[in-house]
Amino acid sequence: MTAQTLTDLLEAGVAGRTVLIRSDLNVPLDGQTVTDDGRIRASAPAIKELADAGARVVVMAHLGRPQGEPDPKYSLAPVAARLGEVLGTDVQLAADVTGEDARAKAAALADGQVLLLENVRFDARETSKDAAERGELAREMADLAGADGAYVGDAFGAVHRAHASVADIAALLPAHQGPLVATELEVLTRLTESPERPYVVVLGGSKVSDKLAVIDNLLEKADTLLIGGGMLFTFLKAQGHEVGASLLEEDQLDTVKGYLERSGKDAAEIVLPTDIVMASAFAKDAEHEVLPVDALTTGAHGAEALGLDIGPETAKDFAARIAGAKTVFWNGPMGVFEFPAFAEGTRAVAQALTEATADGGLSVVGGGDSAAAVRSLGFEDSQFGHISTGGGASLEYLEGKELPGVTALTRQEA
């Protein structure tokens, strides 16, 4: 079965119709200030296309993880303001999800106007495990669109969730795949089914346990896996190295040993750091030094030292491998990039991805912390082949899992 697309919807005509669009506007906030508007900017084009074509656009989105009830710190008010700036038009914000204010504002929309519903997770039915409860909320959402309404699923970052605004709603209105979802699926399909080689995967972040299934799957598909971030210390410990007070998942050592045994045989080569930036504490101004991996506890802070970044020799090695690749997928920073002293490993990886892109390769930044890192370090989105808006959804796709939001959009024949 194939999915109807936003293009199909626009060709059918949307002037005067109410179109519900599920967008991914889950952005980081500092109080009332959006600190990284990447997802807003990525979501805006589809919303603008609909509005410019005369649709009455009702945007649905979530922010954070409120506990199924209104919580001011998770209000979409700052998002509505920033979305309006990006679109160059006023974006109204409903005070609720499908309540009296949402119904009134949706009914009063004129052609080309945009309404953002309040955080869909303020309604406990959005994430309920009870299909009937989710279905009830989805029906209320569909009612906002009326008899001639339509639905566009454009929140790839949420398609791994069987939520009312992601999956259930698609059964109630003519459903269409948004451009972000379509692009993500195209890129991820290339990564899993037809990557141009050499194919290098860079994995970082704090925990091995978060990426077990991804490692399992990509070991069979990639040529090289470069391991950084906090997860690297479980790999080093599995090799017999002392890692001091660094992040360690003892319960994953046997699993990691299994990966290392497979490395370079009938699977991808796993490449680990050769040097680490070891610090006295998890702090921006912590004293630190570079030590080889076989001597991480021999420095000034002994067994109390903890690793906060890959070392310069490792960064150089990783960068060379990435720059020479034809396909690169990166998920997870190499160190604590929020602290300048421990951001150089992540910076080196990001720079290498831009070079691979410039040489005609496909470079994919896997969303989440990786996307936040490249922007905070001063890189432009255009320097990379693709910056995912998916985060967890991208990882689940790479694990080979079915994504409920994608399945829901392919129920109808084009």
Q: Specify the 3-state DSSP secondary structure of 384.
A: coil
Which residue has tokens 């699923």? 153
Cβ 387 vs Cβ 328: under 8 Å: no
Q: DSSP label at 110?
A: P
39 annotated among ligand-binding-site residues: yes
311 annotated among ligand-binding-site residues: no
Half-sphere exposure of 328 (CA within 13 A, CB side): 32
List active site positions. Answer: 39, 207, 368, 392
299 annotated among ligand-binding-site residues: no
121 annotated among ligand-binding-site residues: yes
Which residue has tokens 């603008």? 48
272 annotated among ligand-binding-site residues: no
83 annotated among ligand-binding-site residues: no
Query: For helices 100-107 and 131-145, what crossing angle results, to 10°?
Result: 30
Please work out, in degrees rounded to the nearest 5, the angle formed at the alpha carbon of residue 242 by the alpha carbons of 236 and 245. 100
Residue 262: CB atoms within 10 A of its CB come to: 16
332 annotated among ligand-binding-site residues: no
Cβ 353 vs Cβ 325: under 8 Å: no
- Tokens matching residue 56: 């009455």
161 annotated among ligand-binding-site residues: yes
217 annotated among ligand-binding-site residues: no
251 annotated among ligand-binding-site residues: no
**What is the Cα–Cα distance from 413 to 410, expressed in whole angstroms?**
7
24 annotated among ligand-binding-site residues: yes
Binding site for (2R)-3-phosphoglycerate: which residues?
A: 39, 121, 161
Binding site: which residues?
A: 24-26, 39, 62-65, 121, 161, 211, 307, 338, 367-370
Binding site for ATP: which residues?
A: 211, 307, 338, 367-370
